[in-house]
Amino acid sequence: MESAIPKHLQTARSRHRRVGDDYSPPYPSFVARHKPKVANVVMAYFGLQYRGDPPAAAGALLAAIAARLADANGPSHWDRAHHVDQAGYSNVVSVAYWDDVAKFDAWFAPAREAWTGQRSDGVGRYIEVLRPSVARYETLFSSPDRAEGVAVIADGMSGEIQEHAYWGGMRDRIPLSQTSEMVASGKPSLVREGQRLHVIAHDNLCLIRSGQDWSDTEASERRMYLEDVEPVLREGMDFLRDQGTSIGCYANRYMQVLGSDGAPIEKSYGQSWWHGISALERWAESHPTHVRIFGAAMKYLSTLGPAAKLRLYHEVTVAAADEQFFEYADCHPRTGMLAAVETVAA
């Protein structure tokens, strides 16, 4: 058993973990490990938004960004997913990961200009980027043999880690929690730059991407996921999407992952922006839908352990103010972090 916090990021603590040194989790979990030389990663969400059938411009934009993502300075990994938002718009989001900020910076300017720099009738575009220090995020995987999201660009997976399967494990896995409460402060504000809208958020804004992969499940396990787990998960996702702002969730997207041919595959993830990690903790612990999900997962993984074919993972980031970038063009006013600012004239 090892700590979720890699050795090179372990520091003298001013804040304690929630569990004692003798804590032993009831089932195994794993985290992504980067090479120690990796200082920051980049998580970039390129969203495209339209109502009804995809306009012709949408296909062209998606093809163009896919081509750019394949550039030499492009990401080490990217994926694409779809959801219908609370305003009834379709959103296709391409999520890309770098572990070299210089490469991202070299790549980004023309990609940004192509994505949000021109008008595109009937198609909204947005860019949401975090470039967190590796001390500011954590991952968690129920199985070590299939990476997702930022973990795909890591050096590999850890062995079994200690800090999981209890409330507070998420915080305890983030290296910065050794010395910081990671308190969120401030309110998001809006800045216009031509037709682009920027949201300037605040220190310790929190992002979670939390996914499930049922592609390997069979028979009873598949039925269990689709009939017992997924509807409860969806209920929780809908709550966050529609009523999240009341509890500090600025925006939530329950994404259906798309394969390389653009068709849905048997993976999904929830992606949400939070005022801070405390708000995310409180929701996770107290909202009936998430408590049910957690309870079901605990029971399930305690029984099946690594034999489970359903794969669960997440990545959670607490970003410094200068590690964030939010840009929206031709989007409806409840899109992503636009929903976090009080009045928006789109």
Q: In the complex, what is the shortest distance from the CB of residue 167 to a copy of itself, in angstroms, rounded to a whole number?
A: 4
CA 309 to chain centre: 22
Q: Which is nearer to a copy of itself, 152 or 291 (CB)?
A: 291
Note whether 194 and 200 are within 8 A (CB): no
State the pairing for strand pair 137-141/311-319: antiparallel
Q: In the complex, what is the shortest distance from the CB of residue 29 to a copy of itself, in angstroms, rounded to a whole number?
A: 14
Q: Which is nearer to a copy of itself, 117 or 168 (CB)?
A: 168
Per-residue binding string, a copy of itself, 106-145, x by CB under 8 A, is ----------------------------------------
Stretch that binds a copy of itself, among 101-109, 111-119, 160-168, 258-266 (CB under 8 A): 160-168
State the pairing for strand pair 196-200/205-213: unpaired
Known active-site residue 77: no
231 lies in the binding site for a copy of itself (CB under 8 A): no
Q: Is 90 exposed, middle or buried (0-12, 13-18, 19+ CB in 10 A)?
A: middle
181 lies in the binding site for a copy of itself (CB under 8 A): yes
Letter for the amino acid at 239? F
- Side-chain half-sphere of 290: how many Cα atoms within 13 Å? 16
Q: Is 246 exposed, middle or buried (0-12, 13-18, 19+ CB in 10 A)?
A: exposed
Q: Which is nearer to a copy of itself, 8 or 16 (CB)?
A: 16
Q: In the complex, what is the shortest distance from the CB of residue 331 to a copy of itself, in angstroms, rounded to a whole number?
A: 31
Backbone phi and psi for residue 260, each to the nearest 5 degrees, phi listed first: -65, -20
Chain residues in the site for a copy of itself (CB under 8 A): 15-16, 18-20, 23, 26, 165-168, 181, 183, 278, 281-282, 285-286, 288, 291-292, 294-295, 298-299
- Active-site positions? 314
